[in-house]
């Protein structure tokens, strides 16, 4: 498998891991200990600790960006583009995503923390744009 495909798999795996270790752990620990009924967690009314609310948003960010990265990796695959720059940009996407998620979930949000989180997001966006330009320029 190519590095971009491996990075797509890593992105998807991170999305699942984030779900299980944050939202899943929070919910199931409360359900299984009888503190809340299983129907307590409604999508239209988020309640819970601040880190839990942030973890829901961090997971949603992953879900929102996974198809974008998937489309770019698919375009790389069908156009048979490869190389060190493409590999590095795909790795940057995954590292940026993991760092953004970790900052989002683990640190109370201040202006400085949000700026750091945005920087990791910006790395991903720049990588997406750069990869897209490489694809379009190749055809």
pLDDT of 99 reads 98
Can you give the CATH number for the domain in which 108 is found?
1.20.120.550
**CA dist., res. 91 & res. 49, Å (int):** 32
Cα distances (angstroms) measured from residue 41 to each of 38, 56, 64, 88, 138: 7, 12, 21, 39, 47
> Consecutive 10-residue runs of the chain (139 residues): their mean pLDDT?
97 97 90 86 80 92 97 97 97 98 94 97 98 92
pLDDT of 139 reads 65
> Which residue has 């998620």 as its token pair?
101
Domain assignment of residue 133, given as a range? 3-138
The C-alpha angle 63, 99, 84, rounded to 5 degrees, equals: 90
Phi, psi angles (nearest 5°) of residue 45: -150, 90
Domain count for the chain, please give it: 1
Annotate 120-130 with b (16+ C-beta within 10 A) or e (fewer).
bbebbeebbee
């Amino acid at each position: 498998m190519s590095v971009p495909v491996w990075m797509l798999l890593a992105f998807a795996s991170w999305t699942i891991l984030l779900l299980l270790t944050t939202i899943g752990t929070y919910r199931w620990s409360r359900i299984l200990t009888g503190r809340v009924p299983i129907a307590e967690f409604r999508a239209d009314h988020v309640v819970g600790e601040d880190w839990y609310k942030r973890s829901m948003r961090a997971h949603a960010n992953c879900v929102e960006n996974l198809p974008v990265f998937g489309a770019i990796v698919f375009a790389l695959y069908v156009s048979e583009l490869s190389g060190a720059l493409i590999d590095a940009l795909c790795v940057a996407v995954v590292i940026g995503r993991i760092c953004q998620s970790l900052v989002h979930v683990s640190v109370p949000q201040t202006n400085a923390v949000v700026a750091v989180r945005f920087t990791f997001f910006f790395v991903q966006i720049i990588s997406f744009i750069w990869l897209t330009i490489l694809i379009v320029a190749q055809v």
